[in-house]
Each structure stands twice: as structure tokens, then as C-alpha cells.
A = this chain, B = another copy of it.
Amino acid sequence: MKEFALIGVAGFIAPRHLRAIKETGNNLVAALDPFDSVGVLDSYFPNSDFFTEFERFDRHLDKLKRQGKKVDYVSICSPNYLHDSHIRFALRQGANAICEKPLVLNPWNLDALEEIEYETAGKISTILQLRLHPSIKRMKETYDNVDTLTEVDLRYVTARGNWYGHSWKGDISKSGGILSNIGIHFFDMLIWVFGKVKEISIGALDLQSASGTLLLERARVKWFLSLKENDLPSEIRSKGLRSHRSMKINSEEFEFSEGFTDLHTESYREILKGHSFGLNDARPSIELVYRIKKLYGDKNN
């Protein structure tokens, strides 16, 4: 049984990590969040210690280490711009890091993490759950050896209310914006399935939506991402739904609306077996996002 600590336990994504730790038969010994509404711990690890201050959390992990009860993994669910610092903390503690996507906001943050991974015994893993989705795995098998260009048309609209802009997710310096925060999943998946990025173009980019095209080794992709309710298809809105995912492959709809629920647990299972996605797996999509933002900036300023 492995011992875990978790940073960001009051946030939206933390319950999936708590559940993954539990379902893989492991234990949480300490959790951190500046916000103290963390009753969710009662459903998973009521005996976990909890801290609202980083320094006290650090002291506690250090004490455990000196008592021979070193934490094996630190799960990181903090706002995106804090990921690399929290990863460094984990590795300096002598633990491994399991970090939510996007692993970091900029390619050079990956270089920095490479050095610390090299200097310590710890391993950095990220959550790229789409790669574990059964449909996506089949898609990869199907297209891995296709040598004609596949046409992909990806649209993902997930409406967010006004609060979003007033949270860290709406602050581009903290979340990286819609490309880093939402797009990264799809960019990683597409590159994984269809190969390296050859060309990019960018249509629109603002805080709430983005669109463009990609030429990958084995596909030509049109993509559109949006947080705006108005971009939802009317039949979706009329049902009161707020999210719509569509991917057409050579004009046929590819079904992948199901099967997302336990991919964090599956991710943990793989990580614990040593099959984790690391810095090099995360790099292509992080570089792509960076290039798209730069292209947009060059075009518009």
C-alpha cells in the first residue's frame, strides 16, 4: 500500500484523485488546501491530516519522512500555474508526483522539471486520461498505420457561467486560458493518434473560445473550442445540457461521449504499475499550445 499526500483537495477535480487513490487500494495521509471546505475527505480518507498552510503541510511531510513513513506520491490538483512548483516540492520531499493536466503552462517549465527529475529519485506523471479511453484506444489502433490523411473535425463546447472569468481559470496567467485548460486534452489525443504537428493555423482566440486547424502526420484537423452557451447546438441547449462534444472523422461522427467516469482510477492504476505518462508524453501538446498562442500573438500585435 502506497502513502499519498494531495495538494488542492478543496477543488473541483480532487474527488477523482481521492477516488483513484482509494480504488487502487492506497492511502491518503495528508492534504492541503487554503480553503477549508473539505468535507469530501470524510467520504474517502477521514483519517487524513489536513492543512490550510503550505508550511505546515511541508513540516508534516518532513516529520513523516524522518519517522520512516515517507509519502510515496504527492497528487497535485492545484491551479495550473502552481503545478511546477508543487512538483518540485514533491520531488524534493523524495516522493513521486502525479499532476493534473496541463502539467505546466510553458515548454521551458518542462525543461526545469527535467532537471529536478534528474537530480532526485522521484518520477513525474501526468494525467492524460483520454489515452486510456477505450474508444480512443481503438481509434489509435485504427489510424496508426493508415497512410492517407484523415479529415478530423473536432468541436467541444462546454458552457461556463460568469463565475469562470472571475476565477483563476479565467486568468490567463494562472490557467493558460482555454487552450491550456480545455484544449490540451484534445491536442494530446490528436497528436497521440495521428502523429506529429506539421502545420498550424489559428482562427479566433479569446478568453472564451478558440479555433484553428492542424496538419498532423496522418490527419488534417479543424478544431473549435468554446465556453459560450451560445455556441451549443440548439438541440443540446433545449435539453438543458451545457456541454457538447463532437468529433467527425472523415465526416462520420465518432462516438466518445461515454466512458469517462473512472479514467482517473485507470490512470492511477497504470502509474502504480510504472506505466505513467511523463514529461516527454506531455511535451508535444504543451508545445503545440505554446505555438498556437505565439502564432496568434504574432498575427494580432
Q: Interface residues, chain A, CB within 8 Å of chain B?
A: 10-12, 31, 34-39, 41-42, 45-56, 58-59, 62-63, 66, 81-82, 84-86, 88-89, 92, 111-112, 115-116, 159-163, 166-169, 229, 242
Contacts and interface: CB of A to CB of B under 8 A. Distances in A.
Contacts of A58: 85, 88-89
B62 A112 contact: yes
Contacts of A45: 161
Given A47-B161, A63-B112, 17 more contacts: A36-B168, A41-B161, A41-B162, A46-B161, A46-B242, A48-B161, A48-B162, A50-B163, A52-B167, A53-B82, A54-B54, A55-B82, A55-B85, A56-B81, A59-B112, A62-B112, A66-B115
Given A49-B162, A162-B49, A242 B88 contact: no
Contacts of A162: 41, 46-50
Contacts of A35: 10, 34-35, 37
Tallying the copies of this chain within the complex gives: 4
A242 B242 CA distance: 34
Nearest to A14: B37
A168 B63 CA distance: 24
Q: Give the 3 A-B residue pairs with the shortest CB-CB distance, closest first.
A: A46-B161, A55-B85, A50-B163
A201 to B, nearest CB: 24
Contact of A86 (B47, B55, B66): B55
A86 B163 CA distance: 21
Nearest to A167: B36
A123 to B, nearest CB: 18
Contacts of A115: 66
10 contacts: A36-B169, A42-B159, A42-B163, A46-B160, A47-B162, A49-B162, A51-B166, A52-B167, A58-B89, A59-B84
A167 B38 contact: yes
A166 B50 contact: yes
Contacts of A167: 36-38, 50, 52
A42 B166 contact: no
